[in-house]
Structure formats: structure tokens, C-alpha cells
A and B are shown apart, each in its own frame.
Chain A
Amino acid sequence: MKKIAFLVLFFGLSAVAQKKLPDVSLFDLEGKKVSVKDDFLEKDKIYIFSFWATWCSPCINELDEMNDLQEEWKKSLNIEIVAVATDDSRTQKRVKPLVKGKDWNYKIILDTNQDLKRALSIANIPYTVVVKNGVIVHIQNGYVPGSEVELFEKLKSL
């Protein structure tokens, strides 16, 4: 009975949508403060928030692939990819050398105590949140080789 109540509540709630980015401020790789709510609001620009960690190999594969493709994507769409490192202080210091070593051309933000990941109820990474005009318009959960092609098709339809 209790479980049914849980489920009813849950499905009732999922009907209520139009989710915005939470009001969380984090640091970028250079130590500058970034407001997730206020700093990604350029009109009609598509922001792709890719949640990853230095120990998550599918996440790294996804970001490697997108890094090679993003220049091509930018020719037809106004996009920006933001790589949100969910590394806690165990592995957070590996983020910068990894990003530079791989020559990733992304805005990186550090979600060290997982405030943003938690606010978006993300259970597993990789997890990609697409935002346009401050509203979450698409979510991609997990990554398999080729997911980036599907994502690009989706971005074109937004």
C-alpha cells in the first residue's frame, strides 16, 4: 500500500514540469564563482550541461567525442557545452590537468559537494541536461558511443 502511494505521488508529480536550473553557485577551473541560475541566460542559446567525473570512463568518452564535434556543431547552432565535474575532493585536483591534457575546450564547473547534482536529482553519471532560455528542455541519461549524434539531432529540433 505504501509503495502504491509512493508511485501515485510520483506520477502525479511528473506531470508538473517546466523545470528551471537551480540557484547554485560553484567555482570554475580558474577559481572564479559561477552562478548556475544567472550565468547561462543568453537568449535562445542552447547550453549543454554534461555531468561527469575523472573516474567515469563513459563520461570521458562522451566529452572526448563532443570535443571533436563541437566546432562543427557551432557552425549551425548557437550552443555552449558546460562540463560539470562532480568529483569530490578525493579526485577534484585531477580535473584541471585532465581537461588541459585532453585539450577539452569546455567551460568547466566544479560541483565538489554535489550541490547541483543533488538539486537536479541525478542518480548516475554520465547525465546531460540541455537548457534553453533558463528552462530544461532535454535530458540524456547515460552514454553509449554514438549518443552524441542523437543529441545533435535533438539540439537541431529545439
Chain B
Amino acid sequence: MKIKIIAFLLFSSIAFSQKFGVVSGGFESNSQWYLNDKGLKDEFNNPTTHPDQPLRSNSYLFLNYKYKKWSAGIQGESYEDNALLNMNPKYQGINVGTYFVQYKSNTIDVTGGYFYEQFGSGLLFRSWEDRALGINNALRGGRIVYKPTTYLTMKALCGNQRTGFDVTKSTIFGFDAEVTLSEILKYKETELSLGFSYLGRDEKTAIENPKFASLTNGYSGRLNLNNQSFYVSTEFDYKSKDAVVQVTDQIDNNLIKPGSALLLNSGYSKKRFGINGTFRRIENMSFFSERAAKGNSYNDRIMNFIPSLTKQQHYNLANIYVYQAQPNVILADKDLVKAGEIGGQIDVFYEVKKGTKFGGKNGMKIAANFSNWNALSGTFYLYNPQDYKTDFFGFGKRYFTDFNVEITKKWNAKWQSIFSYVNQYYNKKMIQETTGEVKSNILTAETTYRFASTRSIRVVGEHLWADHDKKNWVAATIEFNINSKISFYSTDLYNYGNDTDYLRNHYYSFGGSYRVKATRVALNYGRQRGGLVCVGGVCRYVPESSGLSMTISTSF
């Protein structure tokens, strides 16, 4: 029935649009055929077996219709026979995912239906779509954006958050204002803006005699200053007292705490040089549209965006020990207490000038990054009743450190090489709440050789030395671009240093992609360890699996 309604809407909109307005959209389908793999053992020496429904596909068809200041859109989604592994099981079958109607002029923008929005950095509120991760936390309701002058933008919104093909019972409402002060003060070379946000979540609880209010309030203030080569920005967020959820679905009526976040960022840049530093402190700042959802493994019902502020590595082995931001409260035992994180990162980019001794004829590019994250220090009470009190500028146990440097050298029009070194510390016990600490070093060398106009070969070699956990790895990738439309690749990651002999796995895969205009088709076979994978010039995040996969995407 639903599909008939969609079809009717689509056909009528096409017929209509040929005379009035424009239809545009996109289609994307990610399919996997999971296979049994006797050679790929888990920690209990069991071979990998495919799930009950081995052929699975996530598909999205988005259509947008625009006529003068009006636009309307609909997204149909299909998860057949089921959603891909590691995706939210609430995504099942074929249905309408999102729809909206929007009126937009220069001063006012009104949306009804599903919409995406972000306040400031997103630490208080962000709704977005990430198909590779299975996130779509759009709000269903209404939003008004009002720009009475060029220096003032105000937003007001109200709605329920999407979860699977349904929405949550809680109500979300928010307000955001941003003023460009530099425009009012007529600064010529400086941009200065201030922002303020409010976000409320009203969720009734089934708990008897709750010690917390059904309405949780979030406030945020931010400042951005940009003076040519120098810039600084800051944001502070506060979430009112609410029940702490340490384990998903367990609302603790005896531990009622507020949350906060402080973000400070500054940088300086000039020709061929840029530096940026970020400091962030987060305490109990997870925010979900339903309290009990906190910590669920699908990012379902998530309302804010707390990214890990580390370098997003693009090599295979550098994506094995990936830090995840730690906004949550855990009072497990005296060695495992968390209430948030504190730390920062520094990035430096530098280009050695062409024609100098090191720069050579084509110059040389250097990028370095350092990040370090610790738990918050404070006093933690584990029993009767549980509680904690944190220090504002106190560093507790270390979670993660990453130092990395990358050098890109173009030798001539045909050859280019990239060398990188990464040194990491990963506290697995504190981050994953299991055991162990891992120190690792990763060396990577890659080179690209261009034969003819668009024919090239790229070879990457990687090695990871680790003192614990899965220990040493080696990896190699060969990518062959026949022309700008067709690419093939083959890659293998080998965990040769694993202490357990049956876990010394090869994660091999090979495949190809074909691209023409807005369309891309890719076919891969092999074992996927998970992480960011780039093939034929395209990058995406993929979860671990074994089997055959096909991806189709296009826009029109």
C-alpha cells in the first residue's frame, strides 16, 4: 500500500514538474552477500558464518521537487531482506523514511515534515544523515528560520525524532540565534559573531517518584572571531540535571547530574603555513531523545554530535585503534571510573617552497598532528549512593595519544610519494571497558605512478608494531586506474604477529569500480576489517564482513 502511495506521488510530481518546476534526486544502494568463511576464525576458533539472511541491501531513493520558492522532497528507503550487518535492526522493509515541504525566501524559511539541523558545533544539537553508519536522526515537525537583517539569523524548531521508520514519543524543541557583530560594528577586516542556543527534551518517564524533571534543558553560547590570519572560537554547553544512564536501558533514579562541554579553538595561518589547536572538556554530555537510549550501539536516537577530536586517519592499519569520544559516566570499579574527557589536538600544515633544497622543483608538503585525551579527575563514590565530583582542569587516567606526521612529495609529473609515521597509545580498558593498553607505531609508504593521461598505478605498503592485543600487522594495496572511469584494486591486511595462531588472519579483498558522470558502480569481494577505505578515488567507512558487495549510486 505504502509503495503505491509513493509511486502515485512520484508519477504525479513528474507529470506536473515537466511543466512547472524541477525534479531532482538521487539513488544509492549498498548490497552485501555474506558468505561462510572457514578460514576467518573468531577468538573462540569458530569459522565465520553468514547470517540467516545472507543477501542484504540498503537502498535509498530521494526525490526533490522545486517550484519557485517552494520545494518538497521524499526519501524512500528499502532494507531487504534485512539491513546490512551492524546496522540498526529498526531499519526493516520498504517504507517512506523522510518527507518535507519547504518555503524559502530571502528572509524566511519554513519547513514542515522531516528536517536536518545543527546548532553551533553540534555539541548540543545536531540532526543529520550518515548512510554508511545507518544514522538518520532527522526531526519530524516544523522549523522556521528568520533572517530579518543580514546580521541576524533566528531559528525555532519543534518535533519528534526519527528512530527507524518511526518517531520517538519525546518532544524536542529548540531555538537558536546568531548575530554577526562585526557587521553591526562595521569592522572591515574582522568577522565577529555570537550565537546562543536552547534545546529542550520533554520525555515522560515510567519510573515512580522520579527525582528528575521530565523536561531537560540544554543551553549553549558561542563566539567566533576571525581576523585575517588569526582566528579563535569557543563554545560552552550546559545540560540541566537529569538521571544518569550508565548502561543502556537502565535509568538511575539515584544519580541525577548536569552535563557540560567547553570547546576552545584557535589557529594562525599564512602563505604555506597553518596551525590549529583545539581544547575540549566534556562532562556527562551524552544527549539522547529518550534517556534509556544512551550508549546503544547504533547511535539510535542520538541528539548531539560529540566527535573524537583526533586525526581521521586514512590508511588501513592506522584505523585499527581508533579513539571514540568519552562523554559518558561509568562508575564500575575503582580502576574504571569515567565522567567525561579532557584534552586536545594540534595540527600543523607546511609546504616547503618550490625551488629550495628540500622543496625541489615541485615542493614538499608536510602535515603533523598531535592529540591527547584523558579522563576527568575528581572524587568518585562507587557505593551507597553512587556520586562523583570532578575537577574542572584535572587530568585523570589517559585514554589516548596520537602523534603523526605525513610528507607528500611530488617527484615529477609522473611520480608522487607519501610517507607517514603514526605513534599511538590506546587505553583499551578505559575506552572499550575491557582490558589492556596498546602502544603502537605505524609506518606507511605509498607511491603513485602515472603512465598516460588517466592511467596510473598506486602501491601502498604499511606496517604496524603493537606491544599488546593483536600485535603486529602488515598491509599492502595495489590500485590500478585504467582510465578515469574504471579502477581495480587488491588489498591484504595480515595480522601475522597475533599471539594466537588461528587469529593470524589475512583480510584480503579485491574489486573494481566504474564511474560515469554522476553514477558509480562498485563490486568487491573479500574480507572487510572495517574502517575507512578508499578505492578509485572514493572513500567511505565500511563495517567488518566477509563476502561479496555491490554499491550503486547516482544523482539526477
A residues contacting B by CB (< 8 A) are: 2-3, 5-6, 9-10, 12-14, 16-20, 22-23, 30-33, 54-59, 61-62, 64, 88-91, 93-94, 96-103, 112-115, 118-126, 138-147, 149-150
Whether a CB of chain A sits under 8 angstroms from the CB of B349 is: yes
With contact pairs A23-B104, A57-B534 given, residues A31 and B191 touching in the complex (Cβ less than 8 Å): yes
With contact pairs A89-B121, A93-B267, A113-B126 given, residues A101 and B78 touching in the complex (Cβ less than 8 Å): no
User: Which residues of B from 71 to 108 have beta carbons under 8 Å from A?
Assistant: 76, 78, 80, 94, 104
Instruction: Say whether B308 contacts A90, CB under 8 Å.
Output: yes
Interface pairs (8), CB distance under 8 Å: A13-B63, A97-B269, A97-B347, A100-B273, A100-B349, A114-B129, A145-B456, A146-B450
Which chain B residues border A88 with CB–CB below 8 Å?
122, 128, 305, 307
B349 to chain A, nearest CB (A): 2
Which chain B residues border A126 with CB–CB below 8 Å?
537-538
Instruction: Say whether B14 contacts A12, CB under 8 Å.
Output: yes
Instruction: Say whether A96 contacts B231, CB under 8 Å.
Output: yes
Which of B17, B76, B150, B534 makes the CB contact (< 8 A) with A58?
B534
Instruction: Say whether A16 contacts B348, CB under 8 Å.
Output: no
Which chain A residues border B532 with CB–CB below 8 Å?
55
Which of B11, B17, B24, B78 makes the CB contact (< 8 A) with A121?
B24
Whether a CB of chain A sits under 8 angstroms from the CB of B38 is: no
State the CA gap A16–B305 with chains docked (Å).
37
State the CA gap A100–B28 with chains docked (Å).
35
Whether a CB of chain A sits under 8 angstroms from the CB of B116 is: yes
With contact pairs A123-B553, A142-B536, A144-B484 given, residues A10 and B27 touching in the complex (Cβ less than 8 Å): yes
Instruction: Say whether A124 contacts B61, CB under 8 Å.
Output: no
Instruction: Say whether A122 contacts B7, CB under 8 Å.
Output: no
A50 to chain B, nearest CB (A): 12
B residues contacting A by CB (< 8 A) are: 3, 7, 10-11, 14, 17-18, 22-28, 59, 61-64, 66, 76, 78, 80, 94, 104, 116-118, 121-123, 126, 128-129, 131, 150, 180, 191, 193, 224, 226, 229, 231, 265, 267, 269-276, 278, 305, 307-309, 311-314, 347-351, 365, 367, 408, 410, 416, 418, 448, 450, 452-456, 481, 483-484, 487, 513, 515-520, 532, 534, 536-540, 553-556
Which chain B residues border A57 with CB–CB below 8 Å?
314, 418, 534, 539
What residue of chain A has the Cβ atom nearest to residue B63's Cβ? A13
Leading 7 A-B pairs by shortest Cβ distance: A121-B26, A101-B349, A97-B274, A90-B307, A100-B269, A123-B553, A146-B454
Instruction: Say whether A30 contacts B537, CB under 8 Å.
Output: no
State the CA gap A99–B229 with chains docked (Å).
12
B74 to chain A, nearest CB (A): 11
With contact pairs A88-B305, A89-B122, A118-B129 given, residues A98 and B367 touching in the complex (Cβ less than 8 Å): yes
State the CA gap A101–B268 with chains docked (Å).
10
A56-B539, A58-B538, A141-B518 given; 19 more Cβ-contact pairs under 8 Å: A13-B63, A14-B556, A31-B191, A54-B312, A56-B314, A89-B121, A89-B126, A93-B276, A97-B275, A100-B271, A100-B274, A101-B365, A119-B64, A121-B62, A121-B556, A141-B515, A142-B513, A144-B481, A144-B484
Which chain B residues border A12 with CB–CB below 8 Å?
11, 14
Which chain B residues border A114 with CB–CB below 8 Å?
128-129
Instruction: Say whether B62 contacts A141, CB under 8 Å.
Output: no
Which of A3, A97, A145, A146 makes the CB contact (< 8 A) with B267?
A97
Instruction: Say whether A93 contacts B191, CB under 8 Å.
Output: no
A76 to chain B, nearest CB (A): 19
Which of B131, B308, B351 makes the CB contact (< 8 A) with A102?
B351
Which chain A residues border B11 with CB–CB below 8 Å?
9, 12
With contact pairs A58-B539, A101-B272 given, residues A146 and B553 touching in the complex (Cβ less than 8 Å): no
What residue of chain A has the Cβ atom nearest to residue B481's Cβ? A144
With contact pairs A125-B539, A150-B453 given, residues A112 and B349 touching in the complex (Cβ less than 8 Å): no
State the CA gap A143–B539 with chains docked (Å).
11
State the CA gap A149–B274 with chains docked (Å).
29
Which of B273, B452, B537, B555 makes the CB contact (< 8 A) with A142?
B537
Instruction: Say whether A143 contacts B537, CB under 8 Å.
Output: yes
Instruction: Say whether A98 contacts B14, CB under 8 Å.
Output: no
B91 to chain A, nearest CB (A): 16
